[in-house]
Structure 1
Amino acid sequence: MTLPATAIGTELPPVTMTVERGRLQLFARAIGEHDPLYTDPVAAREAGHPDLPVPPTFLFGIELQQPDPFAYLRALGVDMLQVLHGEQEFTYHSTAHAGDTLTARSTIVDVRSKNGGALDLLTKDTTVTRSDGTRVADLRTITVVRNEVPAP
């Protein structure tokens, strides 16, 4: 199946979460982060942070907080067994910390085919802000969908 170009401009439902200290500590350990800045609140405060800072790739998981984070792909007719994570990009504007309430707002900004239609690439941009509206980061995700292409 080829993804429809009409998907471009689709805004996904926003997702809001409050960043929990314990979750940051578990995430830091899971990614092999050994810097106490990310696991010890005292070390974080001594480094000038109000609490544990959010590790760089943690924000990718905000959208996974909703009950069905991939509903938008299924709504486009995507077979989830054919989905691959292509790329992830982060542009940071400020550091988020434990206790911050963050909201992620995503929009599908591009759909294109590659390799003679064997792959579709869906690009989604996400803006993450604090509850006061200050921007924390901009994320770009490229999702790859493998398509069956008839043999020539």
Structure 2
Amino acid sequence: MALDQSFVGRSYPPTDPYEVGREKIREFAVAVGDANPAYVDPEAAKALGHPDVPAPPTFVFAITFKAAGQVIEDPQLGLDYSRVVHGDQKFAYTRPVYAGDPCTRATGSR
């Protein structure tokens, strides 16, 4: 089944806020092999001028799945996820993400 082209440009409601936790940042940094001490040690982060432990830039991808699920699970789209090849994704960073930050995720299609 072909995808419904009327979905191009559609957006979905934002998710409830997700509070970024120090432990989740640490787990992510370990999982991707990033040994930057600022990602696991609040004192190391503060010594570098951060107010708290910063998240690696790619951390935000890990928390987008709930928002992406709104598209993937929308039966009207006609998506066969087993045939999907990830081709593009963009993030607009306006500032670093820190432990304790609430992040709201939103998604759309284009």
- TM exceeding 0.5: yes
Pairwise CA RMSD:
1.7
User: Identity percentage over the alignment?
Assistant: 38
TM-score between both structures, scaled by the size of structure 2: 0.85
Aligned twin of 1:70: 69
**Partners of 1:73 and 1:56 in 2: how far apart?**
24
Stretches of structure 2 lacking an aligned partner (at least 5 in a row): none
In the TM superposition, what is the alpha-carbon distance from 1:71 to its structure 2 partner? 4.2
**2:103 alignment partner, SS class:** strand
User: Which stretch shows the higher mean deviation, 23-32 or 72-81?
Assistant: 72-81
TM-score between both structures, scaled by the size of structure 1: 0.63
Which structure shows the higher strand fraction? Answer: 1
Does 1 or 2 have the higher relative contact order (CA < 8 Å, sep 6+)? 2
**Partners of 1:36 and 1:49 in 2: how far apart?**
12
Letter in 2 for 1:54: A
1:12–1:58: structure 2 CA closer, same or farther, 3 Å change rule?
same
**Partners of 1:106 and 1:99 in 2: how far apart?**
22
Letter in 1 for 2:4: P
**1:10 alignment partner, SS class:** coil
**Partners of 2:91 and 2:50 in 1: how far apart?**
21
Counterparts of 1:31-110 in structure 2 under 5 Å? 31-65=32-66, 69-74=68-73, 75=75, 76-108=77-109, 110=110
Which structure shows the higher helix fraction? Answer: 2
Please list the CA deviations of residues 74-111 of structure 1 after superposition, one character each: whole Å capped at 9, or x if unmatched.
Answer: 42111121122222333321111000101112222x2x
Counterparts of 1:106-117 in structure 2 under 5 Å? 106-108=107-109, 110=110
Give the number of the structure whose alpha-carbon radius of gyration is greater: 1
